[in-house]
Amino acid sequence: MMKFLLLFISLISAVQAQLNIDQWQTPEGAKVLFTQTKGLPMLDVQLNFDAASSRDGSQYGLATLTNTLIGTATDRLTEEQIINGFESLGSEFSTASLKDMAIISMRSLTKKDVLKRSLSLFSEVVSRVEFQQAYLTREKKQIYQSLESAKQNPGQVASLKFDELVFAGHAYAHAKIGNKESIEAIRLQDLQAFYRQYYVAKNLTIALVGDISKAQAKQIARQISHGLNIGQKAKTNPVVTPLVQAQQVHIDFPSKQTHLLIGQTGINRAHPDYYALYLGNHILGGSGLTSMLSDEIREKNGLAYSVSSRLTKMKSNGYFLIKLQTKNSQTQQAKNIALTTLKNFINNPIDAQKLQDGKDNIIGGFALETASNLNILTYLSIIGFYDLPLTFLNDFIAKIEKIDTKDVQKAYKRLINMDKLVVLSVGAIK
Amino acid sequence: MKILILLAFFFSANAFSNSNAGVSNKAHNGITQASLDNGLEIIVKVDDRAPVFISQLWYKVGASNESRPNTGISHMLEHMMFKGTNKYRVGEFSRIIAKNGGDENAFTSKDYTAYYQKMHNSKLELAIKMEADRMRNLTFSGRELEKERQVVIEERRMRVEDNPNAKVFEQLRLISYGESGAYHAPVIGFQADIESYQLKDLRDWYETYYAPNNATLVVVGNVDPAQVVAYAKQYFSAYAFNPKISQLKDKPPIALTQQHKQLKLKAKLPLVTMAFHVPSLNSAQDKSQAYQLEMLSYVLDNGLSKTLIRDRQIASSIGVDYRLYDKYQTQFTISFIPAQGLENKTVINAIKQQVTELINKPELLTDEIRRTKAQLEANFVFEQDQISTQSYYLGMLETVGLGVDKMFEYVDKMNEVVSKDLSKAAKLFLDFEQMNQVELIPQAL
C-alpha cells in the first residue's frame, strides 16, 4: 500500500495561485466549505459547531464537557471500539472546544475503503452520541486536574484573569473549562440538552480539504449532516462592550518572572477597521522579532524573551492584548516601555517605511498562509463560521495594500483608550 | 519499495551529471542530494503543492558537544547569529527576511543547531545567500552579547525556572548521565554558565563548528533542485573545508543507573518520570532493537492510557517517550500524573504489572501492534502536509549521522516488528531495579 501512496505523492504537482473554495448548504442546513488539494492522498474534515463556552449560560464548563464526551460512546459503540476503530484505519479523530467554536475533526487517507469506513465511523460518533454517567464522572475528574494544573502556571493564571477583566459580564469572561463548583453541578441531562440544542445541522460549518472531488465532498457533507437534527442556529450573543474604566490588577505568584498583560476590548471580523488594525498589530507586536514591541523590549533592552501583541477577532468582539514576561524586578521598567510604545503608536502615525515593511511581510509571505491542507482547513473554518465572503483570502492583499499610516493610527485611536486599559501583572513583586 | 520510488521520480543522477564541477549528486526517494568540495551537504525535496519553500541550515553541534562552564553555548550562539555580520548590521537579517515575506527562526537541541526561512519560491536565492553569509562573517559585539544574555536568562526563567514539570525533566538528565559526558546538562545551559560566557568563548565555538563540512543545507518546496545546488555553490563554495572538524572529540553520554530524586517544588500536581537507558538507532548494535523499542513506546503509551487513565482511572495523564533518532544512546521514559489523591506507588505498581504482562503474554498485543502499524503508515502521509516537518526529518537524520534514507525505511522497519520482539525488548530494557526516577512533590504555592 505504501508504494502506491508514494508514487501518487511524487507524480502529482499543482501550483495554486489562488484558493478555490466551494460553498453550499446541506439539505439539513449545514454550511459546507470545500477546497480540493492534490498531491497528498488525504482528507481533513473539521466540524465547527457554534457550541463553545460562550454558550455555557450559567453552567460554566458545560460546552467543553459536552464536546469532550463526543467520541466516548454512541448508541452502538463503546469508547474502546471507537478508539480502536479510528486507529485501525490510521485515521486521527480529535475534539477541541474554544470560546466561539466547538470543533470535531478527523484526518483520513483517501484510499477508498479507508475513507469510507473512517467517514462512517466519524458520522456515527458525531450524530449518535450517547452520554454516559461513567464517562462524565471520569471527565469531571480530568477537569479538576486541569484546573489544578492551570493554577501552577503563572501564564495560565494571567490569561484566565485577563479574560475575566476584559470580558467582564460577558459570556467570554469565564474559563472555558469552568470551575470546581460549576463542573460539580453539571448533570448528564445538561449535556444531553446542550447537545440537542447546539449540535444541529443549522448550527454547523463543515470544512473539507483534501484530494477528493466536489461530488465526493457533497456526498460526505451530506452523510455527516444527515444524522444530525436540523435544529436552529444559535442566537447571536451580545457584543463585548468597551471597558469604561482603567483597571490595575496584581496577582501575587511565587514565580521568577512577572507576566504582564495590557489590553482592552477588541473587534470582530466585521469591524470596519479590520484591515488597518490587522496591519497595525502586525507592525506593533504581531510579527516576531521585527515588531516594534520586540525591538523596544527585547532587542534594545534585553528585558524579555517573548513580547507580542495580538487581536483576537471573535464573534462578539475579542481583545487587544500586549503580553510579556520579565524578571520580577524589571516589571515596572518593561511596563513603562510597553505603555509608551503603545501610546506613541496611537498618537503618531508610524514611519512610512515601517508600514511598507509590514505590508511587504504580509503580502510577500501570503502564499505560506495556504501552503498546507491544515492551514487551508483553518481558513475555511474561519471563513464559514464567521460568515466572511469566499473571496476573503483572495481579496486580502488588495485590502492591506490600501492602508496608509494615518488609517492605522486612526483605527488604533478609535479602538484603544490609554486611560481605560486593563493592566494585569502576575508574579512576585518583592 | 525503493525501486518503485526511483522509477517514479523524474530527477535522476543524470540530471546533474558532471557539468557542475565540484558538486556530486545522487537522487532517490524523491530526494536530491549533493555535496560541495568544501564538504557542505545539500538535500532537496520537491513539494510543489504551493509556491513556497523552507530552507534550513543544520550544524552538527548542540548541547551534547558542550561541557561546563560553557553549557548552553550552542544555544547562546544561535541567538547571536541574528546580531549582524560584516555585511548586515544588527537586526538586519530578520528585517530583510521579513520584508521579503519570510518567516524565520532557529532551534537548538542536544545534537544540532538549525536555522530556517520559509518564503515564497521567488526568494530562494535571498534565503541561501543570507544564511551563507552568517556561516562565516558574524560580528561579535560585546554590547549585543550582554543584552542577549539577559534575553536567554529570561528564556530559561520562562521555560524552566517557572515550570515545575520542565524542572523534573531537567533533573532527570542530571541524575541519569555523568557530568563529563553528553546529555547531562540542559540544552539552554545552567544559569551560572549563561551568566559567564565571554565573547571569545562564543567566537571560538563559532570558529570551531560553523564550517561547510559540519553543515547540511536542506530545502523542501516548490524549487528546482539544480537551482538550489547552484545557489549553494555560488554562496558557500568560497568557504574553506575545516580539517579540524574530523579531529573533534566525540563525547558520548555516561549512563548512570538506580538514581532517584525527589524534587520539592511549588506546584499543584505531582509528576513522576521513570527512565531506562536504551540504545538509539544510531547507537544500537542490532538496529532492529531500536525499532522494537519505538514500537514498544507506542504500544505501551496506548496500553497504559487505556488501563490507567480510561479504565482504572488511577492516573490523569501518562506519556511514554523514546527518542529513536538521538545521536547517542538514549532513555526510554514513562511519565505520569497520578489521579487526585492517589499515591505515586499505586501507579508505579500498575505500570510494572502491565509491563510484566506484556513480557509474559505478548500475544495480547497483536491487535494493538496492528493498529499502530496502520497509524504509522497513515502518519507517514499526514506528516508530508507541512514542508517544515519534511525538512526537519531530512536535516535531523543527516545531522545525527543516520542519513535521509532512514525516513523512507521507517514504515517498513516498523512493519517488521512482531509481538514477541516487544516482549524481548521490554524484558531486556525495562528493568525497574536499574531505572532512574524523578518525583515532583508539590509544595503549597
Span B185-239, pLDDT tens digits: 999 999 999 999 999 999 999 999 999 999 999 999 999 999 999 999 999 999 9
- Per-residue burial over B306-327, b = 16 or more CB atoms within 10 Å of its CB, e = otherwise: bbbbeeebbbbbbebebbbbbb
Per-residue pLDDT at B14: 35
Smallest Cβ distance to B49: which of A14, A304, A365?
A14
- Across the beta sheet with A319-327, what order do the strands follow? A247-252, A422-427, A257-265, A319-327, A307-311
Identify which of B405, B379, B407 has the alpha carbon closest to the alpha carbon of residue B392. B407
Residues A255, B164: C-beta atoms closer than 8 Å: no
In this structure, the number of other CB atoms found within 10 A of the CB of residue A19 comes to 19
Residues of B in contact with A41 (CB under 8 A): 381
Confidence of residue B3 (pLDDT cuts 50, 70, 90): very low
Cα B237 to chain centroid distance, Å, stands at 27
B303 DSSP 8-state letter: H
**Alpha-carbon torsion, ordered A305, A309, A312, A317, to 10 deg:** 140
Mean pLDDT of chain B: 94
| CA-to-CA separations, B376 to A39, A125, B250, B396, in angstroms, rounded | 19, 23, 33, 19
Please report the residues numbered 361 through 400 in chain B whose beta carbons come closer than 8 angstroms to any beta carbon of chain A. 367, 370-372, 374-382, 384-387
Cα A364 to chain centroid distance, Å, stands at 24
Q: What is the CA radius of gyration of chain B?
A: 23
- Dist CA A271 CA A250 (whole Å): 32
Residues B382, A365: C-beta atoms closer than 8 Å: no
Residues B385, A42: C-beta atoms closer than 8 Å: yes
Smallest Cβ distance to A367: which of B51, B157, B386?
B51
Task: Using a CB–CB cutoff of 8 Å, tell me whether B48 touches chain A.
Answer: yes
Look at phi and psi of residue A328 and say left if phi exceeds 0, alpha if psi is from -120 to 50, else beta: alpha
In this structure, the number of other CB atoms found within 10 A of the CB of residue A381 comes to 21
| CA-to-CA separations, A323 to A414, B152, B163, in angstroms, rounded | 21, 18, 18
Task: Using a CB–CB cutoff of 8 Å, tell me whether A226 touches chain B.
Answer: no
In this structure, the number of other CB atoms found within 10 A of the CB of residue A429 comes to 12
Task: Using a CB–CB cutoff of 8 Å, tell me whether A287 touches chain B.
Answer: yes
Residue-wise DSSP of A362-403? HHHTHHHHTSSHHHHHHHHHHHHHTT--TTHHHHHHHHHHH-
Q: Which residue of A has its CA nearest to B317?
A: A142
In this structure, the number of other CB atoms found within 10 A of the CB of residue B99 comes to 18
Task: Using a CB–CB cutoff of 8 Å, tell me whether B305 touches chain A.
Answer: no
Smallest Cβ distance to B340: which of A88, A141, A256?
A141
Specify the pTM: 0.94
Residue type, B152: V
* Residue at grid coordinates 546533474: B16
The pLDDT of residue B278 is above 60: yes
Residues of B in contact with A367 (CB under 8 A): 50-52, 101, 120
Per-residue pLDDT at B22: 62
Q: Are A429 and A261 in contact (CB under 8 A)?
A: no
- Cα of A193 to nearest chain B Cα, Å: 25
- Dist CA B364 CA B357 (whole Å): 9
Residues A290, B94: C-beta atoms closer than 8 Å: yes
- Cα of A7 to nearest chain B Cα, Å: 6
Residues A256, B123: C-beta atoms closer than 8 Å: no
Task: Using a CB–CB cutoff of 8 Å, tell me whether B14 touches chain A.
Answer: no
Look at phi and psi of residue A312 and say left if phi exceeds 0, alpha if psi is from -120 to 50, else beta: beta
Q: Which helix (H) or strand (E) holds B209?
A: helix B199-209
| CA-to-CA separations, A100 to A96, A97, A170, A249, A268, in angstroms, rounded | 11, 8, 13, 26, 12
Per-residue pLDDT at A18: 76
Task: Using a CB–CB cutoff of 8 Å, tell me whether B157 touches chain A.
Answer: yes
| CA-to-CA separations, B362 to A384, B368, B373, B418, in angstroms, rounded | 48, 11, 16, 9
Residues of B in contact with A37 (CB under 8 A): 49
Smallest Cβ distance to B340: which of A17, A40, A144?
A144
Quickly list H helices, A207-311.
Answer: 214-226, 274-281, 292-293
List the beta bridge partners of residue A245. none
Name the phi and psi angles at B304, rounded to 5: -70, -35
Q: Which residue of B has its CA nearest to A292?
A: B95
Express each pLDDT in B74-130 by its tens digit: 999 999 999 999 999 999 999 999 999 999 999 999 999 999 999 999 999 999 999
Residues B9, A10: C-beta atoms closer than 8 Å: yes
- Dist CA B67 CA B328 (whole Å): 16
Residues A361, B119: C-beta atoms closer than 8 Å: no
- Cα of B147 to nearest chain A Cα, Å: 5
CA angle A15, A19, A25 (to 5 degrees): 140
Residues of A in contact with B267 (CB under 8 A): 152
Which residues 6+ apart lie within 8 Å of B206 measured at CB? B77, B80, B138, B140
A and B: number of Cβ contacts within 8 A? 222
Number of H helices, E strands in chain A: 17, 11
Name the phi and psi angles at A24, rounded to 5: -155, 180
**Alpha-carbon torsion, ordered B397, B328, B273, B160, to 10 deg:** -70
B48 DSSP 8-state letter: -
Express each pLDDT in B142-158 by its tens digit: 999 999 999 999 999 99
The pLDDT of residue B8 is above 50: no
- Dist CA A277 CA A288 (whole Å): 17
- Which among A8, A105, A361, A375 is the top mutation candidate for probing chain B, defined by the most B β-carbons within 10 Å of its own β-carbon? A361
Identify which of A418, A417, A381 has the alpha carbon closest to the alpha carbon of residue A45. A381
Q: Are A35 and B34 in contact (CB under 8 A)?
A: no
Query: What mean pLDDT comes out for the span B363-370?
Result: 96
Residues B154, A257: C-beta atoms closer than 8 Å: yes
- For B139-297, strand residue ranges (E) read 215-221, 260-266, 271-278
In this structure, the number of other CB atoms found within 10 A of the CB of residue A153 comes to 21
Which residues 6+ apart lie within 8 Å of B266 measured at CB? A152, A254, B164, B442, B443, B444, B445
Query: What mean pLDDT comes out for the span B35-42?
Result: 98
Task: Using a CB–CB cutoff of 8 Å, tell me whether B89 touches chain A.
Answer: no
Please report the residues numbered 38 through 97 in chain A whose beta carbons come closer than 8 angstroms to any beta carbon of chain B. 38-42, 79-80, 83-84, 87-92
Q: Which residues of chain A have pLDDT under 70?
A: 1-17, 430
Residue-wise DSSP of A13-48? ----SS---EEEE-TT--EEEEEE--SSSEEEEEEE
Task: Using a CB–CB cutoff of 8 Å, tell me whether A124 touches chain B.
Answer: no
- Dist CA B54 CA B117 (whole Å): 6
Q: Are strands B103-108 and B260-266 parallel, antiparallel or unpaired?
A: unpaired
Q: Are A71 and A139 in contact (CB under 8 A)?
A: no
- Dist CA B408 CA A119 (whole Å): 28
Residues A301, B371: C-beta atoms closer than 8 Å: no
SS3 call for A334: helix
- Dist CA B182 CA B328 (whole Å): 8
Task: Using a CB–CB cutoff of 8 Å, tell me whether B416 touches chain A.
Answer: no
Per-residue pLDDT at B334: 98
Residues of A in contact with B52 (CB under 8 A): 367-368, 371
Residues B147, A11: C-beta atoms closer than 8 Å: no
Name the phi and psi angles at B348, rounded to 5: -60, -45
Identify which of A145, A51, A170, A160 has the alpha carbon closest to the alpha carbon of residue A99. A51
Smallest Cβ distance to A87: which of B146, B149, B375?
B375
- Cα of A370 to nearest chain B Cα, Å: 8
Residues of A in contact with B337 (CB under 8 A): 145
